[in-house]
Amino acid sequence: MLQFPDIDLTALLPWAIGAAVVAVLIVALVVGIRLARRGRRARAKARERLDELGARLVELDDATEELEIEIGMSNALYDGRPPASLRRARLTAQHTRDDAFAAYSEAARDDVHPSAQRREAARLTAGIDKAMAVIRSARAENDAWLEEHTTTDEQVAVARRRLDDLRTRMGDPAALRAELARIADEHEWEDAADADAEAHDALDEASSHLAEAEQHAESDAAAARASLRACETSLARAEHASRLLEETYRLVGNARQAIDDERMAAESAIRAAMGTQKTLDADAAPKLAEAIRVAETALASATEIAKRRPVTANERIARLRDRLDVALGDSRTQQQQLRGARSALPGSLNAARSALARAEAVVLDAEVDARVRLDSARRELALARQAHDPIEALDASRRARLDAETAATLARNRKRRR
């Protein structure tokens, strides 16, 4: 039989205590490192990197818009087909920008580890730098081609045709604004209230820049080119203002046509909710009854203002249906949910489109957070239009509206801080 030597536990005790102390110190060190990586300083460093990324992303977004102007300038000079280098640069810039918007939004969430935020900021910044280099190279290549194959007089003539064409297409913006004033209160189109004046002013600026280019055409090609760029920038402003006015008029007109259908659909949804309420137990029924009462009040308020404020009325109806759906929760069958989604979807899409149009009117030179929200609104609206499942489409349209409203709020708040 094996004999085990006697172990002196007293002799082992100091060693065990020492080992325990070392283990505690190691655990404390590991915990300390983890806390440091998530602490205030780590968060501050990560926030600094994200802020730098946001500034670079704004630069890329602006450069992408400027590239559109460059392509517009070159389009006629290249017989209607801009050079391949500019087209490739546009695709690269758009893809990089769109991917960076989505990735920035994910990285900026509070639950993302600071080290992951720093890594993502570094990755996205590197991609943006590459895209900016592609843009600079394409623009330099285009400038060299224009200098070699066209004259300043030809470029001025092309700009003149673009100016005349835009003036013809715009027609009389003041008449469109007057029609808006006739059919709806200014609250419905306040973001486009100055669009007619903005369009006219931008056209006048374009004419002035074009006149300067004509003066420099023979004596100073570089100055003429700078004036032509300024002319194209003014033309882009005029076109944006004109589109804003036209889109606002279309949205107000569509809202006027849709308001009766949306009101009746909301009334039907409220009646259906009343039917569901009767099937609920004593605890759930009163909560739904209160939600129905609030919905009826909101619908009455929307109906009261519908004649002069159809866009606002439709948005209120969309919101009351949002709240009613939340109150109903899982108390409806799958078939009832599908019917409700099909009924609510047209109004929700209209509300999202009007919110997006308002956001696009104010998110022009905004900071990155507003631009990210605007990009998200566009993505969600596209998803809502493409989704085959009405419930998925309805959820996406609601997210699009909320993102657009947030983008507009962020942009307006920044303007107030200036």
Assess contact for 50 and 44: CB atoms under 8 A.
Answer: no
- DSSP string for 357-387: HHHHHH-SS--HHHHHHHHHHHHHHHHHHH-
Asked whether residue 28 carries a pLDDT value surpassing 60, the answer given is no
Instruction: Supply 324's token pair.
Output: 């009613």
Quote the CA–CA distance of 101 and 251 in Å, as a whole number.
Answer: 27
Collect contacts of 250-257 with beta carbons under 8 A, ≥24 apart: 251/311, 251/350, 251/353, 251/354, 251/357, 252/180, 252/183, 252/184, 252/188, 252/189, 252/310, 252/311, 253/183, 254/350, 255/188, 255/310, 255/311, 255/313, 255/314, 255/350, 255/354, 256/183, 256/184, 256/310
> Nearest 5 degrees, angle CA 356-CA 358-CA 364?
95
Average pLDDT of span 111-130: 92
Name the pLDDT band for 2 (thresholds 50, 70, 90).
very low
Residue spans of alpha helices (H) in 83-194: 84-107, 114-149, 152-170, 173-183
Own/partner pairs, 76-85, CB within 8 angstroms, 24+ separation = 76/158, 76/161, 76/162, 77/146, 77/150, 77/154, 77/155, 77/158, 83/138, 83/141, 83/142, 83/145, 85/137, 85/138, 85/141, 85/142
pLDDT over 50 at 103, yes or no = yes
- pLDDT tens-digit readout, 344-381: 999 999 999 999 999 998 888 778 999 999 999 999 99
What does pTM read for this prediction?
Answer: 0.81
* pLDDT given at position 148: 78
**What per-residue confidence (pLDDT) applies to 4?**
46
Cβ–Cβ under 8 Å, residues 251 and 361: no
How far is residue 307's CA from residue 313's CA, in Å, rounded to a whole number? 9
Chain segment 277-323, per-residue pLDDT in tens: 998 888 888 999 999 999 999 999 999 999 999 999 999 999 999 99
The residue count for the chain: 418
- For residue 190, the tally of other CB atoms under 10 A from its CB is 12
pLDDT tens digits for range 121-168: 999 999 999 999 999 999 898 888 877 778 888 889 989 998 999 999
Separation CA 316–CA 302 (nearest Å) = 6
